[in-house]
Structure 1
């Protein structure tokens, strides 16, 4: 990709692009007014400061309240002494820190060689990713959970796996979807890590039961099984298999269970192959995609779990495919059918993110070596002797850590030039509607008159 090659030329371009992205994200997507954070904040304050019950709280003017396991409320206790403004600032800080961790892990050990220019372009691109911008706008916890899970991925890939599984366990105690990663550890025959993950999840759940026995009893016996507390399954934001069936008017749970089982079988085969090849990043990426598909409710902002999939595509040299799929998920295209999805165009378009997730699960390159970067030109005095014809120079067939995946896979997707001082020779080396661009229907959940991440339909006026 041609472009400015000097700091003087690059800096104005980055500033202009950042300004355009800022204006776009502040005006075009329909903002969420930190609605989910308001749920967390109100729940904790009601519980701790007013003696109320966790699952009785409702955001004023709406029927929507807390839907996570009780340990999530315990983990959100730091919100109790904060004002709402401080809580919003804390949410932004935590999400930005979690995003930095996610990008650092996905980029691998060679992340520095991509330089400030490429990373700046990558961050501008990430700001447009609908699941990511909605996670921030809702004040959601998806990025933090993804960072916890990918931390275990890094530990496993680098062989420092004494405490591997702890992040997965904590994430599973906050939300149930990450529990599928415990299944990945079992598939990979990492019994110790699976035991750590299960142990941490059980311990966290037990701690919550000790702190509030009534809330735990209510959640595990009633709230967990009541999908109506979360929202209408047929709402367009639900980009799971269950959401597809619900929009087709097919409420049969047996059919959904059969499709979910089929998806899990395909995931198990592909994830096990990835682990056998030492490709932990691809294994975790496949697991995130499968979890989004089989969960009864996968709101659009939950799809931040797909970020590792895009990193794997870039690592495998499929940048055009990664860029195309990523661009579709920046468009809010599913919201064109927010009021209904009749006909074949509605069936295909309203479920676009589900098809992307399914395609990634079935076609993601797994267990493949990263595509080597082309060698850089050198002076004659610095050029190494040519490899002999009998034993030519080769690229390592396997990336042991699976995290040096094209060194800066997310940043590399921009196709920008690497800074001159960072260049090196070639070597072997991721709730409810989100920020939509469609006109907003009147909803009471936020000051922007948009639905929350827990519902599909407004309460009766």
Structure 2
């Protein structure tokens, strides 16, 4: 039974938060902020006069693997201590997670008249249980920040919740979509995989945003080259192509097409097979985003592109799978839009719930040492199959959910509720 009073909601949310905290504290697999340790050590080594890509984390062979622009962004780490660096990493990821929930979940709560702060709190607890999110925090990774950067461009293309083309409302007298592309460009310059979103902008004929993203990525990359010319030359001519520096392709945490192929046939290089698989996925992606664009469902187009980036990247560690998050939320949203009691509603919500539970389960690690068997092929690549299934079957919504203006929740009366729904839908940026 749903809590209906403020005290009931506060008590329920407190209990859920405590349970989530206990689970996160006792579950195996804490990563000890390994990646933020790599970033921190690299910056300290670089500012002390060492070569950017010569640093390796103590007791490992892992070093810095991002473009020089990423190291430039991390230079403030040279001014702070280790524990402060960890605190900053956790704080930035938490802020990015809050922005994602605001963009993805809050419009659903508003549409259904749910209590917004309670929904936000419950969604935050559920988000924290996802293995990709747990690992992002525990490693001190940047995935949530990059996802938030990319979705900020969706937010701008949708009208920033305050205006947009055809809405009659602007930011400082300007169409907010003119700034779209900056987030994607910065994310692509920081870590190459988000560059697929530039391709998305081109495929969906967002030419201005694609130009802004390309120019931003190029400018940021040039900044990295000016700051570290030798390191830039080494990265773009050699290190970029050396996947051994990142890790083993066949490692079970690699939930990409290339990872699955490497586990299936470790004695075969598999580059040709991987190339064919990538082309097939890109063809499917192009078809699906065209359908989303035709329906005006921009967010689903972004979600499908995030799924594709995970599939086609040579290495997609489990913590990279935060890019699956928008698709999971949209799958649940599609189910909630169906009539109560309908079979389609049950199927969509069951699929969303099952996908969520599996992505919380760490199930792929069962086959960590048995990746070549049939069980290893199916179970050891479970997250890959979820990602592929979402790319194939994520519904395109005929009336996309857009960020709504701040305002009161819909009234309880049926007539007033119908009037409120007409007004809020007509006020959504980009609605035609």
Q: TM-score, normalised by structure 1?
A: 0.80
The residue number in structure 2 matching 1:368 is 398
TM-aligned CA deviation for residue 396 of structure 1: 10
- Which residue, out of 278, 292, 314, partners 1:296? 314
1:109 deviates by 4.9
1:441 corresponds to which residue?
Answer: none
CA contact (8 A) 2:253 2:317 kept: yes
Residue 246 in structure 1 maps to residue 276 in structure 2: no
Q: What is the alpha-carbon distance in structure 2 between the residues aligned to residue 168 and residue 118 of structure 1?
A: 28
Q: Which residue of 2 aligns with 1:101?
A: 99
Deviations 1:235-254 (A, max 9, x none): 00000000000000142201
CA distance in 2, matches of 1:179, 1:399: 32
Whether the 8 Å CA contact 2:257–2:312 is kept in 1: the answer is yes
Contact 1:169 1:196 in 2 (8 A): yes
Hey, what does 1:352 align to over in structure 2?
382
- Check whether the contact 1:316–1:369 (CA below 8 A) recurs between aligned residues: no
The structure whose residues are more often helix, as a share, is 2
**Residues 96 and 399 of structure 1: CA distance in aligned 2, closer, same or farther (over 3 Å):** same
Aligned to 1:166: 182
Cα 1:266–1:47 change in 2 (3 A) is same
Correspondences of 1:327-338 after superposition (within 5 Å): 327-338=357-368
8 A Cα contact 1:131 1:303, kept in partner: yes
Match of 1:211 among 197, 216, 227: 227
Name the CA shift for 1:108/1:164 in 2 (closer, same or farther; >3 Å). Answer: farther
Q: Which residue is equivalent to 2:195?
A: 179
Paired position in structure 2 for 1:63 = 61
Instruction: Measure the CA separation in 1 of the matches of 2:272 and 2:418.
Output: 63
Assess, with a 3 A threshold, how the Cα gap between structure 1 residues 269 and 108 changes in structure 2: closer, same or farther: farther
Distance in 1 (CA, whole Å) between partners of 2:429 and 2:44 is 43
Structure 1 position 394, deviation (Å):
8.8
Residues 232 and 30 (structure 1), Cα distance of their counterparts in 2 relative to 1, 3 Å cut: same
Distance 1:400 1:378 in 2: 21
Task: Please say if residues 64 and 229 of structure 1, whose CA atoms lie closer than 8 Å, have aligned partners that are also in contact.
Answer: yes
Alpha carbons 1:172, 1:178 under 8 Å: kept: yes
Deviations 1:114-170 (A, max 9, x none): 322222221111111000010011000001100110000111122321111010000
| Corresponding residue of 1:78 | 76
Partners of 1:279 and 1:368 within 8 A in 2: yes
Name the CA distance, whole Å, in 1 between partners of 2:279 and 2:50.
Answer: 40
Distance 2:157 2:50 in 1: 42
Q: Secondary structure at the match of 1:161?
A: helix
Give the 3 Å change call, closer, same or farther, for CA 81–361 of structure 1 in structure 2.
Answer: same
State the distance in 2 between where 1:105 and 1:384 align.
Answer: 26
**CA spacing shift, 1:313–1:271, aligned 2, 3 Å:** same
The structural deviation recorded for 1:30 is 1.0
Kindly tell me: are residues 3 and 258 of structure 1, through their superposed partners in 2, closer, same or farther at Cα, counting changes over 3 Å?
A: same
Q: 1:290 to 1:39 in 2, by over 3 A?
A: same
2:123 aligns with 122
Counterpart residue number, 2:34 = 35
TM-score (norm 2): 0.85
Counterpart among 318, 321, 324 of residue 351 in structure 2: 321
Q: Shift in Å at residue 186 of structure 1?
A: 0.3
Superposed displacement of residue 343, structure 1: 2.8
**Aligned to 1:29, what secondary structure does the other structure show?**
coil
Say which of 178, 194, 198 aligns to 2:214: 198
In 2 relative to 1, CA 251–18 (structure 1 residues): closer, same or farther, beyond 3 Å? same
Structure 1 pair 94–314 and aligned structure 2 pair: CA distance change class (3 A): same
SS where residue 177 of structure 2 aligns?
coil
- CA pair 395-367 structure 1, distance change in 2 beyond 3 A: farther
Counterpart of 1:285 in structure 2 is 303
- Structure 2 unaligned regions, length at least 5: 165-175, 336-347, 402-408
Structure with higher RCO (Cα < 8 A, 6+ apart): 1
Q: Which residue of 2 aligns with 1:91?
A: 89
Give 1:102 deviation, angstroms: 1.3
